Amino acid sequence: MQSEDLWLIVQEILKANSKEKLENLLKGLLTPKEIEEFARRIRLVRLLKKGVGQHEIAARLHIGVATITRGSKEIKQGNFKYV
């Protein structure tokens, strides 16, 4: 992923300075399945940060342990600081 692409996305999200504007932007950019996947990833990170075990997370969210391991790795690398 190029930082220029990421910055473009960040700029548009920051311009959407209300719930209504942000919902409109996200519904326009993402498919319903992508929205579902984003929400699942946020739930994954929240559960990891609460100390819930990988197998329990896998059962709750219906995802594989490899996906959970990736999320854990991202947290260890300093991502998801504000989730």
pLDDT in tens, 38-72: 999 999 999 999 999 999 999 999 999 999 999 99
Based on the domain organization, do 73 and 47 belong to the same domain?
yes
pLDDT at position 79: 95
* Residue 82: partners with Cβ closer than 8 Å, 6 or more residues away: none
Based on the domain organization, do 36 and 62 belong to the same domain?
yes
Based on the domain organization, do 49 and 83 belong to the same domain?
yes
User: Percent of the chain scored above 90 by pLDDT?
Assistant: 98
- 2 — pLDDT class (breaks 50, 70, 90): confident
**Structural domain tally of the chain?**
2
Based on the domain organization, do 15 and 39 belong to the same domain?
no
Based on the domain organization, do 25 and 40 belong to the same domain?
no
CA 14 from centre of chain:
17
* pTM of the predicted protein model: 0.86
| Mean pLDDT score across all residues of the chain | 95
Q: Which domain holds residue 48?
A: 31-83
Based on the domain organization, do 39 and 11 belong to the same domain?
no
| pLDDT score of 5 more than 80 | yes
pLDDT at position 1: 59
